[in-house]
Amino acid sequence: MPFTYEYPRAALTVDCVVFGFDEGELKVLLIRRDLAPFKGKWALPGGFVNLDETLEQAALRELREETGVNDVYLEQLYTFGDVHRDPRERIVSVAYYALVALGRHTLQASTDAADAAWFCVSELPSLAFDHHKIVATAIQRLKGKVRYQPIGFELLPERFTLSQLQHLYEAILERPLDKRNFRKKILGMDLLVETDEIEQDVAHRAARLYRFDEAKYRRLVKRGFNFEI
């Protein structure tokens, strides 16, 4: 049962910054801790890494166990290793960030005992450990990456309007974009395919729905294409 080593070892965890997009706002999924330390505080989903799983597998497992989130875009973010980031003992945490499409992907924001909730990135509560720093790093990374990789689509349902896409970019980049220039650019890349559906149940003219052609994107990348907003 106990495990003994010649030298002391840090504990190893993974933490996940799960991004969602809803009502024109970028959101982060947090869970309320039901154990000390920081009992009752909001924190990132995460936990200890098992020895028979990779770091990414650990992140996916924790996401599933703690939030019910299953099919997501996941990418390693940064490893946080300050000596006193956990008050109990030395814990090094490999942080990941995930993008989920609220709407599709049927996620239950609560599965285990503890409750989970979405927060606007601009109105985060006080967080446990150094999780504020982790979230800030994730936002910065997302902001940088979204401009030269087509990862924004991971935050939208499979079919979406051009306005939804524009509002998503505006939320992530934190600046307004010109409608005509945005459409010209994104349609000019020839990566969106027009579906024959339109928005439903809106109190104004319904917009056309598009989907991202990932297969085509991959083909273009092989020929040196660079996505860029």
Partner DNA sequence: CCAAAAGTGTTTCACGTACACCCATGC
Partner DNA sequence: GCATGGGTGTACGTGAAACACTTTTGG
Q: Which of residues 60-89 bind a second copy (CB under 8 A)?
A: 76, 78-79, 81-83
Q: Where are the beta strands (DSSP E) in 69-198?
A: 73-80, 91-99, 116-120, 192-198
Strand partners, 22: 25
Query: Can you give the C-alpha Rg of the chain in angstroms?
Result: 20
Q: Which of residues 22-51 bind DNA (CB under 7 A)?
A: none
Parallel/antiparallel/unpaired status of strands 73-80 and 91-99? antiparallel
Q: How many residues bind a second copy (CB under 8 A)?
A: 29
Phi, psi (degrees; rounded to nearest 5) at 68: 75, 0
Give the torsion sign (CA, 124, 129, 132, 138). negative
Closest CA to 151 of 70, 92, 224, 75: 75
Q: Site for DNA (CB under 7 A): which residue of 9, 104, 179, 218?
A: 179
With CB cut-offs between 5 and 8 Å by kind, which of DNA, a second copy, none does residue 126 bind? none
CB of 76 to DNA, least distance (A): 29
Tell me whether residue 174 or residue 190 sits nearer to a second copy (CB atom). Answer: 174
With CB cut-offs between 5 and 8 Å by kind, which of a second copy, DNA, none does residue 179 bind? DNA
CB of 226 to DNA, least distance (A): 10
Tell me whether residue 135 or residue 186 sits nearer to DNA (CB atom). Answer: 186
Q: Which residues bind DNA (CB under 7 A)?
A: 161-163, 178-181, 183-185, 198, 202-208, 228
